[in-house]
Structure 1
Amino acid sequence: MINHLSSGLLTPVLSFGLSFVGCAVGLSSTARSRLYDGRARRLWLWMGALSIGGVGIWVMHFVAMLGFTVSTGEIRYDLPLTLVSLLLAVVVVAAGLFLVDRGAGRPVALLAGGGLTGVGVASMHYLGMRAVDTAVPIAYDPWLVALSVVIGVLAATAALWLTWTVRSALGGIFAAAVMALAVSGMHYTGMAAMQVAGAAMHDDHGTAGSGDGLTAEELVAPLVVVLTVSMLALVTVAILARAPREIRA
């Protein structure tokens, strides 16, 4: 009744690719932040949070959801909850980045930031799932939910460590791939925890679903376009901007 790969490998591959790009730009932004102080440093960290949280995590989640179907009818999304999940993804990644930056990459800061960010990312995933109207009652396997949270914490800790330690372009590519793989792993583990808890609910006309909310295409397409344009703007800024040290050199 539940199918996570209704489009075959298209959605996993596409979502992984977008996550990779988001994480790569986020890594570039956080690396750039270390060349600045004060407001400029904070701005670059926020740009990293937008890239990693907004595109690397949130866009990955909802593009992957394009392959999620149930046999009872059309899936719809609650717009306010979906937007809150986007805000949550960006904020928790920003919190982790600022914690690690303030702690100068020390282990305590990495563990605190990784724990906070990982739990936040898992919360974003399940909040995003709460926004889904599947027309059938959904339950979750608690062990798989716990596993997805553990993966989220480990992935977040590794990601924050990579944002602090990566220096070379080749290292950045490898780090972005690891981060995207970890985010995808957390997502599909969380999706595997889903179980149908009962019979489909029907409206007055006898069809599944209430008709409220937006379809996946109506919701994801505009948001992906907006965030992709934002990403391109971030890339352009990262390429054109010159740090004080570079200017002096």
Structure 2
Amino acid sequence: MGHLDHAAFGWLTPVLSYAMACIGAALGLRCTVRALSATGRSRRNWLVTAASAIGTGIWTMHFVAMLGFAVTGTDIHYNVPLTLLSLLVAMLVVGAGVFAVGYGKDRTRALLLGGLTTGLGVASMHYLGMAALRLHGQIHYDPALVGLSVLIAVVAATAALWAGLNIKSPAAVAVAAVVMGAAVSSMHYTGMIAVSVHVTPSGADLPGATAMQFIFPLAVGLGSYLFITSAFVALSPTAGERSAYRSAELTDVDAPSVASPRDASAPEHIRTSGPL
């Protein structure tokens, strides 16, 4: 059995991956709040942004954490198509859950369905990403811990969607995002504790790309996307702010014109008949 190290770089990868999960959750929740106060195309666009943010945040969390994963006696490579597929699955399944909540008529049923769908999608992303690992040996899983990780994913996803429906203030969203980041990280490391590797020493080259060749630049790119999108959402006006701005504009347009002080003080025959 190979010795597994889940934090080869110390606390760097766990802390950074947790931060990515929190940023993705916070951005997704803010976009969901915006979506629920919007209609038509605007609601759809906010929900798409929420799904991409949460999906990207979860995927980035997983693979930043995987940068610190090492197995004694073998190198680790990643199958590129499977890794990219795991990112696509994360976005699509989270999107299905977010849209179920955004357009569901029955809030409770939409929440349960969306939470189950999103949670299973998060778990699928995780284990699809694990299936992309290439190493000299065989990977085995503890079924009980795998089941627990899936349960954590479903509960975390349901809690996130509930927060999106019920939490409005930025401070409350921040607290919910911190809790969600912890839940997603717990799901990841529970799934990783379920892993054992039987190493078969070999001098053959492994297929796929190394983490630094592929995972690191992709994670940096997606992390940058999260930061830039967060800045855009933070700076864009809310529905209430836009409504107040429109009301102010209408008030300015409809306000009656006021006579100048000179006109008001002039004799009536001059004000009505003009200059002689």
Which amino acid in structure 2 is aligned with residue 17 of structure 1?
A
C-alpha distance in 2 between matches for 1:244 and 1:11: 37
Which amino acid in structure 2 is aligned with residue 127 of structure 1?
L
**Partner of residue 232, structure 1:** 227
Which amino acid in structure 2 is aligned with residue 228 of structure 1?
G
Show the 5 A alignment for 1:80-95.
Answer: 80-95=81-96
| 2:188 is equivalent to residue 193 of structure 1 | no
- Other structure's SS at 2:67 match: helix
Alignment: residue pair count = 242
Which amino acid in structure 2 is aligned with residue 86 of structure 1?
L
| Contact kept? 1:105, 1:164, Cα under 8 Å | no
Shift of 1:169: 1.4
| Contact kept? 2:47, 2:95, Cα under 8 Å | yes
Over 3 Å counting, the alpha-carbon distance change for 1:165 and 1:214 in structure 2 is same
- Other structure's SS at 2:73 match: coil
Over 3 Å counting, the alpha-carbon distance change for 1:199 and 1:211 in structure 2 is closer
Shift of 1:87: 0.6
C-alpha distance in 1 between matches for 2:221 and 2:41: 25
**Partner of residue 50, structure 1:** 52
Q: Higher mean Cα deviation, 178-187 or 236-245?
A: 236-245
**Partner of residue 176, structure 1:** 177
Q: Higher mean Cα deviation, 118-127 or 237-246?
A: 237-246
Shift of 1:243: 4.5
Shift of 1:146: 0.6
Question: Alpha carbon RMSD of aligned pairs, Å?
Answer: 1.5
Gaps of 5+ in 2: 245-276
Which amino acid in structure 2 is aligned with residue 10 of structure 1?
L
| Contact kept? 2:118, 2:157, Cα under 8 Å | yes
| Contact kept? 1:36, 1:243, Cα under 8 Å | no
Which amino acid in structure 2 is aligned with residue 42 of structure 1?
R
**Partner of residue 123, structure 1:** 124
| 2:57 is equivalent to residue 62 of structure 1 | no
Percent identity among equivalent residues? 48
- Other structure's SS at 2:140 match: strand
| Contact kept? 1:92, 1:116, Cα under 8 Å | yes
**Partner of residue 158, structure 1:** 159
Residues 109-164 of structure 1, C-alpha deviation per residue, up to 9 Å, x if partnerless?
A: 11111111111110110000000112110110111111111111111111111111
Shift of 1:213: 1.0
| Contact kept? 1:113, 1:160, Cα under 8 Å | yes
C-alpha distance in 2 between matches for 1:40 and 1:243: 12
Q: Higher mean Cα deviation, 2-11 or 177-186?
A: 2-11
Which amino acid in structure 1 is aligned with residue 209 of structure 2?
L
C-alpha distance in 2 between matches for 1:116 and 1:167: 23
Q: Bigger radius of gyration, 1 or 2?
A: 2
- Other structure's SS at 1:212 match: coil
**Partner of residue 223, structure 1:** 218
Which amino acid in structure 2 is aligned with residue 236 of structure 1?
A
**Partner of residue 263, structure 2:** none
- Other structure's SS at 1:11 match: helix
| Contact kept? 1:105, 1:161, Cα under 8 Å | no
| Contact kept? 1:19, 1:59, Cα under 8 Å | yes
Shift of 1:200: 1.1
C-alpha distance in 1 between matches for 2:163 and 2:17: 21
Over 3 Å counting, the alpha-carbon distance change for 1:9 and 1:225 in structure 2 is closer
| Contact kept? 1:135, 1:210, Cα under 8 Å | no
| Contact kept? 2:38, 2:239, Cα under 8 Å | yes
C-alpha distance in 1 between matches for 2:145 and 2:129: 17
| Contact kept? 1:75, 1:134, Cα under 8 Å | yes
- Other structure's SS at 2:196 match: strand
| Contact kept? 2:63, 2:219, Cα under 8 Å | no
C-alpha distance in 2 between matches for 1:4 and 1:31: 35
Q: Higher mean Cα deviation, 229-238 or 7-16?
A: 229-238
Q: Higher mean Cα deviation, 124-133 or 7-16?
A: 7-16
| Contact kept? 2:34, 2:239, Cα under 8 Å | no
| Contact kept? 2:90, 2:125, Cα under 8 Å | yes
